Amino acid sequence: MKVSMSLILITLWALVTIAKAYDPSPLQDFCVAIDDPKNGVFVNGKFCKDPKQAKAEDFFSSGLNQAGITNNKVKSNVTTVNVDQIPGLNTLGISLVRIDYAPYGQNPPHTHPRATEILVLVEGTLYVGFVSSNQDNNRLFAKVLNPGDVFVFPIGMIHFQVNIGKTPAVAFAGLSSQNAGVITIADTVFGSTPPINPDILAQAFQLDVNVVKDLEAKFKN
């Protein structure tokens, strides 16, 4: 059976459209998320508060003026403001984080499966970057940022930020999803539950299996 080129193109267009259908645009002014479906209406795949019952508090959060605690193994803290903190963000396709870095602290290599990130440095000096996909030969795109500088991390790319200064650093970042998700590479690979077979990781990372076992012990949840 012959298939016309126009049909193939239409099918490909449909697949691309479906693949990009995360965080869809709302079909009404807003869709404030609600936990109890008995008190809500079903809109855009989520249970939402009756719009007539929405209030200013549904679109408000405070506290980003306060520094996060950086007394941890990576010496950084991410304060997230997404749909869990502001239910009015539901279906709006956007969220925000504040990132605090102790001197020489880092936001270790990670990826956001559902969002592009745009970061602005407010205080301190950061070395930031992302690595492109295998198809692009895993190129590193990196810059040193000073206050007022902005850097973009494309959706799905592994990226990082490191405070290379002797003083604390502060950055804010916007993400193109109400719930961007985060996958920290080291925690995910070496700290999964149950753990990945050490022999698999030893071959993948070209490490001695005992080194892998030691890493899994360190990252064990």
Give domain limits for the chain: 22-59+72-180, 182-220
Cβ neighbourhood burial of 142 (10 Å; 0-12, 13-18, 19+): middle
Closest CA to 30 of 86, 84, 96, 78: 86
Residue 159 annotated as binding site: yes
pLDDT in tens, 65-78: 999 999 999 999 99
Q: Would the annotation count 163 as a binding residue?
A: no
Classify domain 22-59+72-180 by CATH number.
2.60.120.10
Q: Is 112 annotated as a binding residue?
A: yes
pTM: 0.83
pLDDT in tens, 109-161: 999 999 999 999 999 999 999 999 999 999 999 999 999 999 999 999 999 99
117 annotated as belonging to a binding site for a ligand: yes
| Helix 198-205 and helix 209-219, axial crossing angle in degrees, nearest 10 | 110
> Coil, strand, or helix at residue 71?
coil
* Per-chain mean pLDDT for the chain: 88
Element (H, E) at 217: helix 209-219
Question: Using CA atoms, how far apart are residues 16 and 167, in angstroms rounded to an integer?
Answer: 45
